[in-house]
Chain A
Amino acid sequence: MTRDDIPLARAANGGSVPLEAIPSFKAEELSELIAGCLGLGLRLSAYFGAAPKAGRASRSARPPVAELFVVLADDERSALYAGRAPVGAEGFPSIAARFPQAQLFEREIFEQFGVEPIGHPWLKPVRYARFAGGELVQPTPNALAKPWVEPRSAQGEPIVPGTGDFFRVEGEEVHEVAVGPVHAGVIEPGHFRFQCHGERVFHLEIALGYQHRGVEEALAGGPDKRSLHYVETACGDSTIAHATSYCAAIEALSRTRRTARAQAIGAIALELERLACHVGDLGALSGDVGFLPTASYCGRIRGDFLNMTALICGNRFGRNLMMPGGLRYDLDDARAAELTRRLGVSAREAKNAIDLLWDTQSVMARFEDTGRLSREAAIELGVVGPAARASGLSRDVRFDQSSGIYRLSHIPVSTYDSGDVLGRAFVRHLEIQQSVAFIEEQLGSLPAGKVLADAADAERIALAPDSLAVALTEGWRGEACHVAITDAKGAFSRYKIVDPSFHNWPALAYALRDQEISDFPLCNKSFNLSYCGHDL
């Protein structure tokens, strides 16, 4: 197999495909096909289970318990591929040992549908979800993972996150450090288990699931009046990124065209979100190494960028700006002028504050060589976003899988090749400059027209039945992937969200190897991953 003859359906970012056009394989075949594609250098954007189609079951001796779907991204050729396979209770072959980027996806399929990825090297729950499809999850007896055969209570109540087996390093001088779920700062909950030799970390395992609110479960059956709110709160600091993907999926399924003006203003909001978070994180990184000037200034300037989003839509996180078909708020001339003025001031202040980092030796000494993630490891783990770009990968949805205004107005991909905390900080620094330039360019040439397509009403838009839509948005952490599958009536039979954090959490664990445990906060902040985006 080469990149020219991949036997999967071609999909486009922001496009939809009828389900019947997506080739269906046997589960073993699909696993091998995915392995083949990953071997060619494609990467997993999404790999998940859905409820099996009714009807087909009768012909088979062993009825399928789920249907697997995969979305693979070929960044070199700006192509997306989709495939599927029914899978029965006997499970499907795992490829996680050969391709680590698949390991969390396979565990998720196992958790949500009880079908086992056979041969998975570390099969345990992802989110300790209690419900799948509205049903209480029952521990699966054929599972290898202990948590599922040793439920906490006799009532079949699944265990809570952070319990069960952890990978352990044995030895007289080895000790284990457990941190969380409740951490010292104002931060979401997660559990971190370190295997240490003195100060040195041999291994870190991260257990999440505390934030699991059932976002995907809640979206099934939609779209309805709550759908957009679930999406906007799936990962609140990436409200615009997720809302953009959601709207693109709905628009693809309903053949709605977003106006050029709405695309431009939507992209401005997405870049403002990136600016706020990048500036805030550079300040927090500075605080983590005890350099307070940049920490103080960036903490405040971050708020200025949030206030610019509020200038557009009234909410600092961009709530209620995006809607399927366009935007709820327009950017009138006076507002655009005010935004341009504020952007100039804040960009200058941010540059002044951030440049101090690169000029301060005590900061550079802490950033350099800390938490290194090699280019090879980044590829194997399927890392996305600034973390991937800091390890030398040119991987950016805005460029590789561009859609909307990004097809016309290119943002250069900012990369760095050190893969350490400095790399992840410096890529953010470069992206801040690119985003400011992009917004200024857009504000200077906003397309005329309306911001809402005709007849755009989230509840009344009819979605194509029995179809699959894929939408990717490069949020500030990386790719926010949404896959919507509709049933015969055009309602969501499955709505899959892959937050960039889902790809990147294992990379944080990997980057901690051979580091001082005291550098954990610094490494953690350099990735700054989302707990709720992972837990959904």
Chain B
Amino acid sequence: MLKVILARIRQGYRTIKFPAAPPPPLPDRFRGRPEIAASPCPDGCAECERSCPTGAIARNRDAGGLRIARGAAASGPSMDLGACLFCADCSEACPRGAISFTRDYRLSARTREALAIAPGMRELALAGALEKKLRRLFGRSLRLRQVSAGGCNACEADVNVLTTIGWDLGRFGIQLVASPRHADGLLITGPVTKNMELALRKTYDALPEPRIVIAVGSCAVSGGPYIGRPEVLGGAPAVLPVDLFVPGCPPHPLTILDGLLRLVGRIEDTPRGRARRQEGGIG
């Protein structure tokens, strides 16, 4: 018993202060939100498109099947963050070095369209909070049932890590629960294999209404590396209505936490918040 107490003292208090304080620094090689410089491409160059493993970046056409509504798209390639694996192959391929990956970990959006990146864009339309009624229900207590539908266990692992003492998801009233009957929403990982479709639908049907769906990882958002493969359906949106998209392969735990906190309205993009983040040196 004494050893247990001594170990407790030695291991210390380790929960991060985020979001009240800036999060712990991310590694310098971390690849977060990409930026495409608004400089014109050389004539006929499509190196980025050629290099991208998933078709997430495209010149002269809509990336990843996403309709990019901005006229700016004509001046350079556009990118679908939902299909991006953050491998930076495009960045290496671009002869002008016009594509870069910043250390901005904030990537979550409420709609698939908001994950489109056009040249010159320096800020995503980040996820806003749930509608008033849902927020009143889930804002202080959100219980999620996680379903892996073809996930490789990387997204699953980094969702799970949020429940450890370092992140302590429970302090926000967000909890991962065992039964869909006890849950307010589904957190889906994986490209949704045909072999998991039935189980996923049944789990969703078992959730009491109102219910929400969160897609974590590029597989669940778009199919990721498995886009177009006949064994998968191409992510959660192919099967269910999705309320929050969290891109990444896998997303950093901070990216997932940021998305969840935005959804329940605990992080809001006020000018003050933005200023504080910049002071913290993250981004």
Contact = CB atoms under 8 A, between A and B. Distances in A.
A130 B152 contact: no
A335 B159 CA distance: 27
A184 B178 contact: yes
A213 B154 contact: no
B72 interface: no
B82 interface: no
Interface in B224-259: 224-226, 229-232, 249-250, 252-253
Contact of A186 (B10, B160, B180, B250): B160
Given A300-B165, A303-B166, A356 B3 contact: yes
B54 A226 contact: yes
Contacts of B232: 213-214
Contact of A532 (B146, B150, B179): B150
Which of A297, A312, A314 has the most C-beta atoms of chain B within 10 angstroms of its own C-beta?
Answer: A314
A209 B195 CA distance: 7
Contacts of B10: 349, 352
A230 interface: yes
A209 B150 CA distance: 10
B134 interface: no
Interface residues of A, number: 66
Interface string A332-365: 0000000000000000010011011001100000
B103 to A, nearest CB: 9
Counting contact residues on chain B (CB < 8 A from A), the size range is 35 or more
A329 B88 CA distance: 12
Interface string B16-57: 000000000001111100000000000000000001111000
A307 B3 contact: no
Contact of B53 (A229, A306, A531): A229
Nearest to A309: B27
A374 interface: no
B170 to A, nearest CB: 12
Interface stretch (B111-119, B186-194, B270-278): B186-194
A211 B154 CA distance: 14
Contacts of B194: 130
Interface in B188-227: 190-191, 193-196, 198-199, 203, 219, 224-226
Interface stretch (A42-50, A87-95, A235-243, A486-494): A235-243
Interface string A395-427: 000000000000000000000000000000000
Contacts of B196: 181, 189, 210-211
A530 B148 CA distance: 12
A214 B7 CA distance: 46
Contact of A211 (B8, B85, B150, B161): B150
Given A212-B193, A296-B165, A181 B199 contact: yes
Contact of A310 (B27, B153, B231, B249): B27
A310 B199 contact: no
B87 A319 contact: yes
A352 B7 contact: yes
B53 A213 contact: no
A8 B200 CA distance: 46
Given A229-B87, A356-B4, A235 B153 contact: yes
B153 A316 contact: no
B3 A359 contact: yes
Contacts of A218: 226, 229
Contacts of B149: 189, 210
Interface string A156-170: 000011000000000
Contacts of B219: 233
A315 B31 contact: yes
A235 B249 CA distance: 13
A134 B159 CA distance: 33
Contact of A160 (B30, B153, B159, B195): B195
B164 interface: yes
A236 B250 contact: yes
Contact of B176 (A186, A188, A233): A186
A314 B27 contact: yes
Nearest to A226: B53
A210 B88 CA distance: 31
A306 B250 CA distance: 12
Contacts of B4: 293, 356, 360
A11 to B, nearest CB: 29
Given A186-B159, A236-B152, A300-B166, A313 B11 contact: no
Given A229-B53, A303-B164, A237 B199 contact: no
Interface string A359-376: 110000000000000000
A299 B164 contact: yes
B151 interface: yes
Interface string A175-198: 000000110111111000000000
Interface in A120-155: 127-131, 134
A211 B149 CA distance: 6
B124 interface: no
B137 interface: no
Given A235-B152, A300-B165, A532-B151, A317 B250 contact: yes
Contacts of A293: 4, 7-8
Given A182-B203, A315-B31, A297 B11 contact: yes
Contacts of A254: none
Interface in A257-297: 280, 293, 296-297
Contact of B151 (A160, A236, A312, A329): A236
B268 interface: no
A229 B85 contact: yes
Contacts of A297: 7, 11, 165
Interface in A14-48: none
Contacts of A160: 195, 198
Contact of A307 (B27, B155, B250): B27
Given A233-B219, A237-B153, A297-B165, 5 more contacts: A184-B178, A188-B153, A299-B163, A299-B164, A310-B29
The 4 closest A-B pairs by CB, nearest first: A236-B152, A236-B154, A314-B29, A184-B178
Interface of A: 127-131, 134, 160-161, 181-182, 184-189, 209-214, 217-218, 225-226, 229-230, 233-237, 239, 280, 293, 296-297, 299-300, 302-303, 306-307, 310-317, 319-320, 329, 349, 352-353, 355-356, 359-360, 530-532, 535
15 contacts: A131-B230, A189-B149, A218-B226, A225-B52, A229-B53, A229-B87, A237-B153, A296-B11, A299-B166, A300-B165, A314-B29, A316-B250, A316-B252, A531-B148, A532-B153
Interface of B: 3-4, 7-8, 10-11, 14, 27-31, 51-54, 85-89, 145-161, 163-166, 176, 178-180, 190-191, 193-196, 198-199, 203, 219, 224-226, 229-232, 249-250, 252-253
